[in-house]
Amino acid sequence: MILGYVLALLAALASGSGSVLESIGVRRAGAYGGRALDLVNLRNQSIYFLGIGVDLVGFACAAAALHRLPLFLVQSVLAFSVGVTAVISAFLGARLAPQGWMALGVGAVGLVLLGLSAQPGPARVLPTQWRWALPAMAIVVFAIAYYVRRHDRPWAAQVLAFATGLGFSVVGVSARTLHVPDAKWLLLVEPSVWAMILNGLGAAVAFAMALQKGGATAANAIMFTTNTALSSLIGLVFLDDRVRDGFASFTVAGLVLAMSGAIATAHYATHAKALVTKA
């Protein structure tokens, strides 16, 4: 149980720091605020791919944590990586308003409440048809990214961040319900594995485009709000994620505080100009 909490915390740290590295890479490539095709310039930005690598480490930690803890807890901890992003950005020279630091404290209290209320255990096994529906969700994520590329709108960054959250919520559900067969080669035909690969790829593309249109902290806030709300609902309703007896109020309060803290932190974080300067 303790290992699950440690893995979730490491995942949040990796995700938050990876987002900052990717944002710096996008800006150094001159792609920030430009066209989607400008993202091709990222091929020369090693710091961007370092961020991707850090994110992959975070994903591995999150997947391992999801085998031990409910979705609503792990995804809420991951959502709080927006605080990690804001703190790192502050060290890079950005100014985080006092209300932002207060929001970080509010979110931390929410995570403590969720940690106390979560009942560790495996997820319910999904029927075969639903397991194959998970990889198909990548079509939706890629379709949103394609639409935004073809039709640039003022709300492009928000929609792309939402698509990222949708993709990563499917990744989380897939990781939570993944069954590892005795014959490891059977993982090649396991729907959950392909769901993680395809939706993870789609979410990464959408997130790169979101960083191009807006700041890392704001993109993280929308992404993790979508991710946490959607995957938590799926986990509690369909996957048999459980709350300790008598701790339902802790779960509700924890979710509200954790998500409110993440959103408020994003609102008060003003780091975009500083990242451009540092880059």
3-state SS, residue 270: strand
> Rounded to 10 degrees, what is the CA torsion of 252, 87, 218, 202?
-90
- For residue range 66-119, list pLDDT tens digits in order: 888 898 899 888 877 878 877 887 777 777 778 888 888 898 898 889 988 988
Q: Which of 61, 36, 62, 20 is nearest to 152 (CA)?
A: 36
- For residue range 7-30, list pLDDT tens digits in order: 999 999 998 888 788 877 777 776
pTM of this structure: 0.76
- For residue range 191-233, list pLDDT tens digits in order: 888 999 999 999 988 988 887 777 666 777 788 788 888 888 8
Q: In the structure, what pLDDT confidence band is assigned to residue 272 with cuts at 50, 70 and 90?
A: very low
Encoded tokens for 55: 């994110």
Q: How many domains is the chain partitioned into structurally?
A: 1
Q: Which residues are 119's β-sheet partners?
A: 242
Domain around 11: 2-278
